[in-house]
Structures are given as C-alpha cells and as structure tokens.
Amino acid sequence: MSYIQIANEKLEQLKDRDDIVILAIESSCDETACAIMKGKELLANVVASQIDIHRRFGGVVPEIASRNHTLAIENVVKEALAKAQMTLDDIQVIGVTYGAGLLGALLIGVSFAKSLAYSLQKPLIAVNHIKGHIAANYIACPDLKPPYICLIASGGHTAICKVQDLNEIEIIGCTVDDACGEAFDKVARCLGLPYPGGVEIEKLALSGNCNIEMPLPFKGEDHFNFSYSGLKTAVINYIHNKEQKGEQYNKADVAASFQSRAIGMLVDNTIRAALKYGYKTIVIAGGVGANKLLRAKMSEQGQKHNINVIYPPLNLCTDNAAMIASETRILIKSGAKCADIDLDGSANVRIFD
Ligand code: KG4
Ligand code: ZN
C-alpha cells in the first residue's frame, strides 16, 4: 500500500473519535509555531516569534523569515511535545498551514510536516491559514456552533463571511485594496512606530483624541466591502503635509483618529451584516481581533442589537499553531482527505476553497 492509502485508512478509523491527538505546525509569516490538541483540549501551544529580528527592518523580510523558521522549527516541535508530555508515537494526525503566506516561510513548515507524516506513516492535513484564524474561536468556546457572521481582520485579509456550517463559508464582503492590519502597519511606520504597528497604534491612541477628520469610503452604500487604501493615504498625506510646512502635530491624535475610523468600518459592516441576515452571533478572527477598541465597540453594538460577540483569547488572535490544530480537527470531522507527500506551499490560496 502507498503512503497516501495508509494515511487515509488511518484517518478513516480516527474520524469519529473524540480524543484525536493532533500536532499542528504554522510557519506562514514570522512566527514558527507548533501546537498539540487531544480532542478539543489544547495541550501545548508554542510560538517562537521573529518580531525582534524583523523590527530593525521595519517589517518582515521574507528570506530572513524562512531562514529563521529553519533554525527554530525542530526545537519548537520538541518543546510542544515536552509540554504535552508526549512523544511522536502519541501523535495521530499532523496538520500544517499550506497557504496563504510567504512562500519560502510556508515551505519550511510544509516540508517539516511532510517529513514527520511520511516517516511516521501518519495522516497529514493541509490547512488554510484564514480558516485556522476562524477555528481559533472553537478552542476557548468549544460549544460555538454555526450559523454566525465572521469578521476576518488580519495583516493580509479583511472580509466578512456567513459561516453556515463548520465547512460551509460564504464571503459577503471583503477589502477592495489594503487589509486592515496592513493599514495599521503602514500608518505606524509613517509615525515612526516599530513593527508590528497595530499594537503600537493602539498604545499611542490611548493618549490621543479623535480630532482629525478621516475619509469614510463607501459611505451610505448597501454592501459589506472595505477599502483601507484611501484612509492610509489620507493619514500619510496629513503627516507629510505637516512635516513639509514645519508644523507640529500630535502623533497620538493621528493614531487615535486613524484607529477610530479603521475600527469603526469593521464594526459597522459586521453589525450591518448580522442585522441584514438575521444572525445572532458574531465571531472575530485574525490579528486585528486583538485590538481593544474593536472588542469594546463590537461588544457595545452587539449588546445594543442583542447579538452575541465571540473573540479568541488575545494570544490566539495573532498567528499560532493552536488555531491550525483546531481547524485540522474540524477538517477531519468534516470528512477531509489526507494531503499526499507532494503537498506544496501556496502563497496565494483564496480565502476559502
Ligand atoms: O493574523 P495575523 O497575526 O497575521 C496575518 O495572518 O496577517 O495579523 C497580523 C496583523 C498585523 O497587521 C498587526 O499589526 C495586526 O494584525 N494587529 C493589530 C493588533 N495586534 C495585531 N492591529 C490592531 N490592533 C492590535 N492590537
Ligand atoms: Zn494570520
């Protein structure tokens, strides 16, 4: 029997069990991560962040990210096994992010996961990173069940989806240009703040006032798309204008005004979508989901309209492997087939396929 036949047969036997042991790997950007789950219980969640390495360049340098994944991955997996008090023999299924992300970075995780799966003759599941972000919510909230409206807001994606069933997801709005997190990062850079910019803008905004006018794209339009490019450019123009004229400006006010508009757009579209389609639950996914203003405003609006709002814990908003383990479990339960050893990384997978 070939590897893939053995793997699919093993997966078929495991599928209906509630205690499947999954080891998941994530390496799509600048975090090398490994997590272990047994059933719905998270036993280990190790994240080796490269933020300090990339900070001096003002953003992620893909080649440096790949090299550092290579250096970190073995130890990250060993540390996760030690934390879960397990050995590779205890692992039943391996999950790995195959896209979207930086191709070189993805390939490190994919190659490592394929080697593990093949040498152990165990099933391998290929996971879409964005679906992983959504699945992070099932870890802290195991009773969460579709249908719900999901807001995805990360460094690479911004979208609103109807989640009808665990594996039935329909996009009803998305950004037509920049992602929300990308706009946070670019504005932060222009303000001289370190990478990654989202959390830095959030900190600076605490001491600022929303007194600078910001553009509002698609005002009054009846759809759920986003645009962040005009907002980002307006902020950058404001800063350059002041600098050229030698005028003083308050960076905290810029941060607060930008954040208020950027987050306001997310909240407005998500609440309108839930109201339009009559959904009673909103689920937040992705790095921007860690933003406290987003969490406060979304909960406030949710309460006002009698909609329940669910967020992942802060450490599961940004990239991690626990969310990949959670999505691996969902895929197994939904009858997914194993990936073969020709699995490749893919920089540009669609949000859902
Ligand atoms: O989901 P994520 O970790 O990676 C991608 O899949 O892209 O998201 C990273 C993005 C970055 O753009 C980062 O600046 C943003 O999420 N982010 C935040 C916050 N924490 C992370 N944006 C706003 N406020 C935050 N607290
Ligand atoms: Zn991500």
Name the DSSP class of 226: B
DSSP category for residue 101 = S
**Probe target for ligand 1 pocket from 202, 284, 288, with the most ligand atoms within 8 Å of CB:** 288
**C-alpha span between 41 and 80 (Å, rounded):** 14
Question: Smallest Cα–Cα separation from 160: which of 219, 217, 224?
Answer: 224
Ligand 1 mean position to 337 CA, how many Å? 31
Helix (H) and strand (E) counts in the chain: 12, 10
- Output the six-digit token pair for 152: 């995805």
Ligand closest to Cα of 290 equals 1
Question: Burial, 179: exposed, middle or buried (Cβ in 10 Å; 0-12, 13-18, 19+)?
Answer: buried
CB 97 within 8 A of CB 112: no
Residue 304 pLDDT more than 90? Answer: yes
Average of pLDDT values for 314-337? 97
Distance 187 CA to ligand 1 centre (A): 13
**Whole-number mean pLDDT of the chain?**
96
pLDDT in tens, 75-94: 999 999 999 999 999 999 99
| Cα distances (Å, whole numbers) of residue 8 to 195, 235, 330 | 42, 52, 16
Q: Which of 74, 47, 63 is nearest to 136 (CA)?
A: 47
Measure 197 CA to ligand 2 centroid, in angstroms.
15
Q: In this structure, which residue's CA is closest to atom 7 in ligand 1?
A: 155
Average pLDDT over residues 294-322: 98
Are 28 and 106 in contact, with CB atoms under 8 Å apart?
A: yes
**49-53: long-range contacts (C-beta < 8 A, 24 or more apart)?**
51/195, 51/196
Nearest protein CA to atom 8 of ligand 1, as residue: 287
Determine the distance separating the centroid of ligand 2 and the alpha carbon of 27, expressed in angstroms. Answer: 10
Give CA–CA dist 336/70, Å, rounded: 29
The alpha carbons of the chain give a radius of gyration, in whole angstroms, of: 21
* Residue owning the nearest CA to atom 2 of ligand 1: 287
Tokens of residue 147, six digits: 């249908």
Confidence class for position 350, pLDDT limits 50, 70, 90: confident
Residue 131 burial (CB count, 10 A): 25
Output the CA 180–ligand 1 centroid distance in Å.
8
| Ligand 1 centroid, distance to 5 Cα (angstroms) | 39
Q: Tell me what pLDDT residue 276 has.
A: 97
Query: How remote is the CA of residue 143 from the centroid of ligand 1, in Å?
Result: 26
Contact 286, 157 (CB under 8 A): yes
> How many residues does this entry show for the chain?
353
Q: How far is the CA of 250 from the centre of ligand 2 (A)?
A: 31
**Proximal ligand: closest to the CA of 49:** 1
Note the pLDDT of residue 353.
67
Task: Give, using CA atoms, the residue closest to atom 10 of ligand 1.
Answer: 155
Model pLDDT, residue 237: 96
Q: Whose CA is nearest to atom 16 of ligand 1?
A: 287
Using omega within 30 degrees of 0 as the cis cutoff, is the peptide bond preceding 100 cis? yes
Ligand nearest to the CA of 156: 1
Q: 305-327 burial, b if ≥16 CB within 10 A, otherwise e?
A: eebebbbbeeebbbbbbbbbbbb
Mutate to test the pocket of ligand 1, among 32, 318, 324, 351 (most ligand atoms within 8 A of CB): 318
Whether residue 324 has pLDDT greater than 80: yes
For the CA of 293, the nearest atom of ligand 1:
24
Closest C-alpha to 326, from 169, 166, 213:
166
Section 259-280 average pLDDT? 98
The pLDDT tens digits for 220-229 are 999 999 999 9
**Which ligand is closest in space to the CA of residue 259?**
1
- For residue 158, the ligand closest to its alpha carbon is 1
pTM: 0.97
Give CA–CA dist 143/308, Å, rounded.
13
Residues 294-301 have a mean pLDDT of 98
Range 9-18 average pLDDT: 96
Task: Check whether 12 has a pLDDT greater than 90.
Answer: yes
What is Dmax (Cα atoms) for the chain?
74
Ligand 1: centre distance to CA 197 (Å): 8
For position 176, what pLDDT does the model report? 98
**Pocket of ligand 1, beta carbon within 6 A:** 29, 133, 154-156, 181-182, 184-185, 196-199, 202, 286-288, 290-291, 318-319
pLDDT digit string, tens, across residues 159-212:
999 999 988 899 999 999 999 999 999 999 999 999 999 999 999 999 999 999
| Residue 257: predicted pLDDT | 98
Pocket test for ligand 1, best of 29, 31, 199 (most atoms within 8 A of CB): 199
249-273 mean pLDDT: 98
Instruction: Give the residue-averaged pLDDT of 15-44.
Output: 97
Q: Which sign, positive or negative, has the C-alpha torsion 73, 78, 82, 85?
A: positive
